[in-house]
């Protein structure tokens, strides 16, 4: 039995009840929040478009394939199967793109294979760093990302190296 519809009804009713107890005009608060959300969407749209176009260009140009070929010998040193590298390379740029590559990897090697398990762990332990940073920082107007990208990429690389050990 799916309780989701009941949960949502109780949740929304609870919000309205809480607003009534606190004497808050729920409709006014809702429309103000929706208006703010719409303005945030408009503010981040250029950053979102730029990031999606950049990822598409990198994939179409063959940059990701070249990067996988260059990183394959390094991956072998750390015990990471080179077949899992496409997920590892695309993940910092695009979560959806990495999910599509993971699907292809699982079809080719199987979900219970070492390559399949390693690819799944890589996807789960990493973030779309560049996409997330461009959206979050772009929405609030931060231009100096400082140490954010290097720290996030270090985390991503450590997670990817650990993925091969965890998959064993």
pLDDT digits (tens, 9 = 90+) for 36-90: 889 888 888 887 788 788 888 888 898 888 988 899 999 888 888 989 999 998 8
* φ/ψ (deg, to 5) at 33: -65, -40
Q: Tell me, yes or no, whether 104 lies in a domain.
A: yes
Q: Tell me, yes or no, whether 28 lies in a domain.
A: no
Q: Tell me, yes or no, whether 17 lies in a domain.
A: no
Q: Tell me, yes or no, whether 55 lies in a domain.
A: yes
Give the pLDDT of residue 122. Answer: 93
- Number of domains forming the structure of the chain: 1
Banded pLDDT at 102 (limits 50, 70, 90): very high
Q: Which domain holds residue 155?
A: 44-167
Whole-structure pTM value: 0.70
Q: Tell me, yes or no, whether 29 lies in a domain.
A: no
Q: Tell me, yes or no, whether 34 lies in a domain.
A: no
Q: Tell me, yes or no, whether 12 lies in a domain.
A: no
The answer on pLDDT for 103 being more than 90 is yes
Rounded to 10 degrees, the C-alpha dihedral 127/33/15/10 comes to -60
pLDDT digits (tens, 9 = 90+) for 119-154: 999 999 888 888 888 888 877 777 777 788 899 889
């Amino acid at each position: 039995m799916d309780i989701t519809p009941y949960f949502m009804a109780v949740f929304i009713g609870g919000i309205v009840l809480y607003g009534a107890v606190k004497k808050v005009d729920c409709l006014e608060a809702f429309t103000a929040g929706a208006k703010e959300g719409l303005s945030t969407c408009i503010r981040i749209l250029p950053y979102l478009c730029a990031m999606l176009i950049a990822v598409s260009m990198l994939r179409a140009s063959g940059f990701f394939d070249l990067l996988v070929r260059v990183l394959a010998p390094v991956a072998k040193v750390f015990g990471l199967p080179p077949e899992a590298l496409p997920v590892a390379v695309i993940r910092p740029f695009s979560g959806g793109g990495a999910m599509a590559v993971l699907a292809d990897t699982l079809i080719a090697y199987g979900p219970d294979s070492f390559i399949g398990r390693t690819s799944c762990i890589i996807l789960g332990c990493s973030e779309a760093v560049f996409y997330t940073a461009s959206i979050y920082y772009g929405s609030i107007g931060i231009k100096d990302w400082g140490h954010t990208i290097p720290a996030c990429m270090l985390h991503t690389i450590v997670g990817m190296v650990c993925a091969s050990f965890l998959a064993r």
